[in-house]
Structure 1
Amino acid sequence: MKWGFINHMEKINELLGNLEQEEMDRDYPIAWERTHATSCAQMGRLLAQKRGVDLELAALACSLHDIGRWYTGLQRDHALHGEEPVRRFLAGSSLTDENKKGIIQAVIRHSEKDKVGSPLEEIVKDADILDCYFHGDEINKPYHVARLKQVMEELGL
């Protein structure tokens, strides 16, 4: 395991801890955000391994995909609201500008599950839908169901 990802996860946990101290109404509790970020990172690693994408990059993008909701507390438009926070989070990173741009785009577009994007965007979308499904969320939007079915078949599940 590369130490860079561990450092990023420590930063994410610190950030979520700080946000947990803020008094605000949230659609999802910070405990869920922490769990979802961590398990999506692992789903992302699995999908990246299968699809030939950098595991560390996929794990980081998957762990950060809901950062907009972390700051606003709201599900509505959280992907779009993630752009500025993810830019700030990645600003001090040693990632290349191209990799930063890829993560930012994956965050912004992860809710567009009815559209096909870059390989990294697709990993984030699929990791998100898989993680929600395995945590017991009801998947009922037709394009979510179709994506879930496709990724489950890909994984032989």
Structure 2
Amino acid sequence: MKWAFINHMERINELLGNLEQEEMKRDYPIAWERTHAASCAQVGRLLAQKRGVDLELAALACSLHDIGRWYTGLQGDHALRGEEPVRRFLESSSLKEEDKKAVVQAVIRHSEKGKVGSPLDEIVKDADVLDCYFHGDEISKPYHLARLKEVMGELNLES
């Protein structure tokens, strides 16, 4: 599956390159989307290793979690707007249907930081918050702060 993820990342980079050519107002530049997708994938692998979840599936879900924002350019409701694009992205994947469904659900649910979901959902949420924190974003929402504190503790890191 390792090489399958490399193929997924190539497709993600191609997709983002195509979207970069479109003239639209974006809340985040495509350069950030590329960086965030790749670094979230790595953070997701780390968390999956620690939590006993499939590393490559976690990396894929983490890399695709903001796909709704890639297409719309907008932060608002981007998790829900990611459902159809992520389904289309996964159509040609050799993943089992249950794994595709898990990735789609993790994308849809990743903005629900105050709710507890499946282990894959939780990895995507935690990777998102942790990656944003380490890129210098201000983490200010109470449920984001709580999640950040918990995952930092789990990894024996100080915030």
TM-score (norm 2): 0.98
- In the other structure, the counterpart of 1:103 is 103
- In the other structure, the counterpart of 1:137 is 137
Percentage identity across paired residues of the two chains: 85
Deviation at 1:48? 0.2
- In the other structure, the counterpart of 2:11 is 11
- In the other structure, the counterpart of 2:114 is 114
SS of the residue corresponding to residue 78 of structure 2 reads coil
User: What runs of 5+ residues in structure 1 fail to find an aligned partner?
Assistant: none
| Runs of 4+ residues over 3 Å off in structure 1 | none
SS of the residue corresponding to residue 42 of structure 2 reads helix
SS of the residue corresponding to residue 45 of structure 1 reads helix
What is the distance in 2 between the residues matched to 1:43 and 1:129? 10
- In the other structure, the counterpart of 1:126 is 126
What is the distance in 2 between the residues matched to 1:130 and 1:79? 17
In structure 2, give the amino acid aligned to 1:6: I
In structure 1, give the amino acid aligned to 2:145: V
TM-score (norm 1): 0.99
What is the distance in 1 between the residues matched to 2:134 and 2:112? 20
Alignment RMSD (CA, Å): 0.6
Write the mapping of 1:1-157 to structure 2, written as runs, cut at 5 A: 2-157=2-157
What is the distance in 2 between the residues matched to 1:98 and 1:110? 18
Deviation at 1:2? 1.3
What is the distance in 1 between the residues matched to 2:134 and 2:65? 17
What is the distance in 2 between the residues matched to 1:123 and 1:140? 20
In structure 1, give the amino acid aligned to 2:42: Q
In structure 1, give the amino acid aligned to 2:73: G
